[in-house]
A and B are shown apart, each in its own frame.
Chain A
């Protein structure tokens, strides 16, 4: 079974621009979570999508948004990029079965550099 895939792997943008990152979960997985990883803050939760709806959100500004499609693929968007948005953006998928303590499987990440 193929793992979580993320595209693109690398991106360079300038301040003020916007960016869209894509994530395809493991086949059959219905939940996609997004994380930001920086050297200073470590891995921080952005949001989770399940059944095309955002179910949980971390403490990030409204410039960070996302969506999920009917095939469970997800995108996240960052508008009006700031230098501090430079990070490795990771998505993770899980089955999302009710009452089950689930494991999240991560993709390779998208490295975003904002100049």
Chain B
């Protein structure tokens, strides 16, 4: 039972254009969402997050949008750069007992073409 889904395993975008990565979730108890970027042979790196009380959070070239009614979030990268090529994981957080836990999607491989 996948509670966090990234339906696109891969995405290719031209340098300078916008990259849009999507993520859907099913658990309405999730109240905090994060995006991680991962290069081969390295650990995931935290990128940006959003609380469920907001619908948008922006940090430089990265913007995350949250649509709670649709249980959908997306990461926009603009303009895309070749160095953005990596696997992007969406994660959702909920409180279980006294502590929080993250559930990850399966990732989307982004390739930015020069």
Q: Real complex partners, A and B?
A: no
